[in-house]
Structure formats: C-alpha cells, structure tokens
Amino acid sequence: MPSSGNEWPDWPECTAETGELDPENIKIKKEIVALYGEAALRKSWLAVCERLKSLTDEIATKRTATIPELAYDDVFKLGDEEKQRLRDVGCFVVRGLVPEKVASDWFEDLNTYVEENKPTITGWPAEAPFLLRLYWSRTQMEARTHPRAMALHRELNEFWHDDDDAAKSFAEPLVYADACRIRPPGVPFRGLGPHIDAGSLARWADPDYRKVYEKIWTGNPDEYEPYDLTVRKNADPALFPGGAHSHVLRLWQGWTALTSADAHEGSLMLFPEVKTSIAYVLLRPFFKPPGNKDDILDAEKWTFDAEDPWFPGVWRDTSQELSPDAFPHLRLKECLVHIPKVNPGDTVWWHCDMCHAVEIEHSGNGFSSVAYVAATPTTKINSAYVKRQLEAFMSGSSPEDFPGGCNESALKGYPGSNTTILNGDIGRKAIGFAV
C-alpha cells in the first residue's frame, strides 16, 4: 500500500460517541431502505468499495500530480475527452485568471483595507481572525465580476447538464458573496479538517437531494452522473439550519489566489475524485464495520444496519465531516493530497461534492491570501437568494448565509456599491440587478 510519508494532522476522528444520535436519523435511514431495499444498497456498497481499491491506489501513488493544471485560455479549447477527464477527477487548477500584478494589487488593496479597519472586521478564529467576515471589498467584487472570471465561471458551469434546459441557460453565472482570508504564517488552524460542503444530513433527508443520488441507492453506482443538474437544482442543502450550510448551489467551489501558496503553507487539500467517493460517503451509514480490524477493508464483512442513528461525520448544523477511521476505504491519510503550488491570479476549482480540507500549519514566510469565488449557476433557488443578497450589497451588510459581520458601509475606505462591479451589464445582472 503506498504511503505519503507525511504525518496525519491531529484533526478529530468521527466517532459514534461524539456523533449526533438523534432518533430521527433512524427514520431517515428506514425511509431510504423502504424505497430502495437492502439488497440494492448492499450491491452498491460492494461495487463502490471494490472500485475504491484501484482509485485509491492510483491517487496514493500520484498524489498531487492527480490534480490537473491548465492555462486559462486552454479551458475554452478543451475537447470532449479532456473535459471528461476533468469531470472524472472533479478538481483542477486554472492558471492565470488575471496577471500576477493584478492579483497582487488586489491583495495589497485588501490588506490595506483590513489593516485600516482591524478593530471592526471580525472573523475566524475570533482571537486573531484571518478568515474574514468581509464580503463587499473592492478586491472581492472585482475578483467575482472580472470579465475573465465570469467567462470562466460560465464555461465551468457548462460542464454540467440539465435535462430541462438543453440550451444551458443555467450556465449564466451569478455572484455568490463569500468571505476572504489573509492567513499569516506560524498560526495553526484546525477548523477546516476533511469535509464536504453543500449540506450534511440533507443529502439523505431532503427528498430532492436524495433523488440526486438515486442510481447509488438502486444498486447502480456506475451509472450515477455527478454533473446532472436536473434534480439537484431543486435540492435544499440548507434543510437543517446551520452556519455552514449555503442556500445556494455552487457547482464548483473555488479559490482565487491573491498570493502564492505551496504545500505546508496553509494550502488546500483535496480528495481528487468525486463520483465514487460521494457514493461511499452516502452508503457508509448503512454498514457497520467488522469486529476484527484486520478485516476493515473487506467490504463483504461489513454488516448492514439501518437501526443505528449514527451517520458518520454528520451533525445537522455543520458540513459533512470525514476522518480516516470512520471512512477507511477512502484511505484519507494517503489520498487527501495537496493542491499544486498556486501563484497570484491562479484559481482552484473542485466539485461541490468533493472532500477537501485546509492545512493546519502555515510554515511559509508570508501571507497566504485567497478570495473564495465559486462558479454559481442560474437556478430558481439561486436567483431568489441573489435577489435577497443584493439588498445586503446595497447596504453594506452581511449576506444571508454569513450573518454576524460588521456594517461594511461604515468602514474606512468602503468602496460603495456602484464602483466595484466589473463587466458592465453582465456583472450587474450577476449581482442581482435587473438589466
């Protein structure tokens, strides 16, 4: 078995003792069993665990090299086979969204803005925040609405399909206002261990969300299509209230690098495969491991159990969490890999069902700064949220998904809401204005 040779960070292990054991969880499991049957779930379990053997061997061997890298202009020239390769991996780096000078200027502007308003801007961790509750700075708005950014968002959205929208009008990008970070070196941060965003228990409990994964439930995981928007556009990732849950479907989550960042510099780690890994996460709550630890990777020796309220790594108010012992077939210690080094102006993209984490340690010499900018499609639910978000933009207040930030309109150097949108009418429409 290949080994990374790196010590696994001290992220907490997901256990039943520390888990959420709500009796309602048993009802959710039994609903799925009643709909699809134990035999179908077991068939998928065995197929998925078998597929993971070769997948994890490949990832553990290639590690960071598993993650594709391509130049910005090349994204728009990809053939069908090349696009499918990116879909299969589910993550990639796009180099040169903007020139390094532009991104470096964005960072300097943002850093100055934060320094001038340090007593007012809050974030995470509370004692010395560097994940900043800041949403309407000039840097963030320009990174979201830059013409090259919006063209890329549209192109990435078109990797998906919707049976109700053959023309792919959904690919028209919307702006989702997320936070930013300016992370200093030498400060450990354990708050973003292995997890999957876009809801947690909602994947099982929400009927529309559950239906997204119907091929998995019916015993046909090879037929599951991770890029089908037909049903997913109606799913509710925020079915259960929680600060980690977005009301918006982001087809691709993204980082826009404002500084360089390499491995061990507070960078991103990804499990570079989405189709089989999410199937495994979804099936895992229905199976109990064998008593003999030597048999832990033998899927045949796991016992079907729909009476246990534990969903590994699931708490209603947080994202889906993962850990090596709770999800052994993923071999996270070997297969959660660093992204390639990024430079100012590069972007990183990963599928909304992908396991990812942020390194605990930043052992570099300078700030590691990113703007969180996603590729967000035009759907009914997303459009309704963006319309509400527009009110926050106009007033300088925190968006609905991120309550508790400061009144940005009172900050020194606040750019206002009329000068930060790039890309003309396209940018204004994306932020929610009727054009």
State which H helix or E strand residue 326 sits in. none
pLDDT at 418: 73
The mean per-residue pLDDT over the stretch 222-232 comes to: 98
Give the pLDDT confidence of 169-219 residue by residue, as tens digits: 999 999 999 999 999 999 999 999 999 999 999 999 999 999 999 999 999
Length, in residues, of the chain:
435
Prediction pTM value: 0.97
**What single-letter amino acid sits at 175?**
V
**What single-letter amino acid sits at 319?**
S
Q: What's phi and psi for 372, nearest 5 deg?
A: -85, 105
Q: Following CA atoms 393, 160, 247, 275 in sequence, which dihedral angle do they give, to the nearest 10 degrees?
A: -140
Whether the Cβ atoms of residue 161 and residue 227 lie closer than 8 Å to each other: yes
Where helices occur in 299-360 by DSSP H, the ranges are 332-335
Name the CATH topology of 24-431.
Jelly Rolls (2.60.120)
pLDDT at 7: 83
Give the pLDDT confidence of 296-331 residue by residue, as tens digits: 999 999 999 999 999 999 999 999 999 999 999 999
Cα three-residue angle 57-276-78, rounded to 5 degrees:
90
**What single-letter amino acid sits at 385?**
Y
Structure tokens at 278: 């999410």
Give the pLDDT confidence of 386-435 residue by residue, as tens digits: 999 999 999 999 999 999 999 999 999 999 877 789 999 999 999 999 85
Residue 5 has pLDDT above 50, yes or no: no
**What single-letter amino acid sits at 34?**
A
Whether the Cβ atoms of residue 273 and residue 355 lie closer than 8 Å to each other: no
Residue 127 has pLDDT above 90, yes or no: no
d(CA 21, CA 11): 21
CB burial class (10 A; 0-12, 13-18, 19+) of residue 164?
exposed
d(CA 309, CA 286): 10
Distance of CA 64 to the CA centre of its chain: 18
**What single-letter amino acid sits at 400?**
E
d(CA 160, CA 227): 5
Structure tokens at 276: 């089989």
> Which residue has 């320009």 as its token pair?
142
d(CA 87, CA 89): 6
